[in-house]
């Protein structure tokens, strides 16, 4: 069965989408519609901007969304998903591609999300760190021991077995990295991000995005969408909305999404959008499933 997956923030690169714009009339029309909706020419930044221009939150998230969704649309009849999923921001792309959200509404929500997250980042200095080479349970245990008044650190992204991203305020992340290295992590590397995504520190952004999501009409998707908050397939619009609202302060359970997709028959994964980061994660998850089965 064919599964289509969509990347999140961090996959962007200068020049992304230009080939689609130049060579496909549908893509050009959608990119120009996006310029109108956003009120600035995001295509100029995507195609010819600098890395720093592209790293602006108000640019990065809609840029990755646009490249991902337009790539899927331009596949035409070849885009026949049995299921979709997206990593963090990519979940919005997955929902639009599956028909749960219109292109226009998806872009508006992604832009609202980006701006709300930027505000939350500026309100509380915070960051994230990648942890390589420890079982999930050990990382969870260390984080739980550090979580106390004034300190927040949680497991934010379950990317694949042995690779987790933690999220929290700067002091808590630094303390967790030290403890996790002492516990045997191969790497505990702070990431160059502006905030603690998928942690309680994103609550102000969640509140702001919730209002926008609740005002947006969602349809029943043409195939199940495996959502980040629980890794399970969803088709009911009300459930999809609730999960999308919860996503900003909840863990991205990507490992569980992929495990469940494989268990439900996915044997062919196509990544739509910039980069191939998800393919690498899926290969590692698939290897673990083949070796040990799915828990």
Residues 6+ apart with CB under 8 A from 200: 152, 154, 249
Is 290 annotated in the active site? no
Catalytic residue among 167, 198, 199, 251: 198
Buried b (16+ CB within 10 A) or exposed e, 109-121: bbbbbbbbbbebb
Active site residue 234: no
Element (H, E) at 153: strand 153-160
CA within 13 Å, CB half, 26? 10
Tokens representing 81 are: 């998903």
- Of 137, 98, 104, 136, the C-alpha closest to 227 is 98
SS3 226: strand
Tokens of 230: 């629980």
Question: What tokens does 141 get?
Answer: 């245990």
- H-assigned helices in the chain: 18-23, 25-38, 42-48, 51-54, 57-73, 90-97, 103-123, 136-146, 170-182, 203-214, 237-246, 254-263, 277-292
Angstrom distance (rounded) from CA 42 to CA 31: 8
* Cβ within 8 Å of residue 290, ≥6 positions away: none
- The answer to whether the CB of 87 falls within 8 A of the CB of 222 is no
Select which of 68, 71, 88, 251 is catalytic: 88
Q: Which positions are annotated as active-site residues?
A: 88, 198
């Amino acid at each position: 069965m064919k599964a289509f997956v969509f990347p999140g923030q961090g996959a962007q690169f200068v020049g992304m989408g230009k080939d689609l714009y130049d060579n496909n009339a549908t893509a050009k029309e959608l990119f120009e519609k996006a310029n109108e909706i956003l009120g600035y020419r995001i295509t100029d930044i995507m195609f010819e901007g600098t890395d720093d221009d592209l790293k602006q939150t108000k640019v990065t998230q809609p840029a990755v969304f646009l490249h991902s969704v337009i790539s899927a649309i331009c596949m035409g009849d070849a885009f026949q998903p049995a299921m979709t999923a997206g990593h963090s921001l990519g979940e919005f792309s997955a929902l639009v591609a599956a028909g749960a959200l219109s292109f226009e509404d998806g872009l508006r929500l992604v832009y609202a999300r980006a701006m709300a997250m930027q505000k939350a980042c500026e309100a509380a200095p915070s960051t994230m760190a990648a942890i390589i080479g420890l079982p999930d349970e050990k990382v969870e245990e260390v984080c739980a021991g550090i979580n106390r008044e004034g300190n927040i650190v949680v497991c934010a992204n379950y990317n694949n077995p042995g690779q987790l991203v933690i999220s929290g305020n700067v002091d808590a992340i630094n303390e967790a990295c030290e403890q996790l290295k002492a516990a045997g992590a191969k790497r505990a590397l702070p990431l160059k991000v502006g905030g603690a995504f998928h942690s309680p520190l994103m609550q102000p952004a969640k509140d702001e995005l919730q209002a926008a999501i609740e005002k947006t009409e969602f349809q029943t998707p043409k195939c199940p969408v495996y959502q980040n908050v629980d890794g399970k397939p969803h088709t009911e619009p009300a459930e999809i909305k609730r999960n999308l609202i919860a996503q900003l302060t909840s863990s991205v359970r990507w490992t569980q999404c992929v495990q469940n997709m494989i268990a439900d028959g996915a044997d062919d994964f196509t990544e739509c959008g910039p980069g191939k980061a998800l393919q690498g994660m899926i290969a590692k998850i698939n290897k673990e499933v083949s070796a040990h089965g799915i828990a």
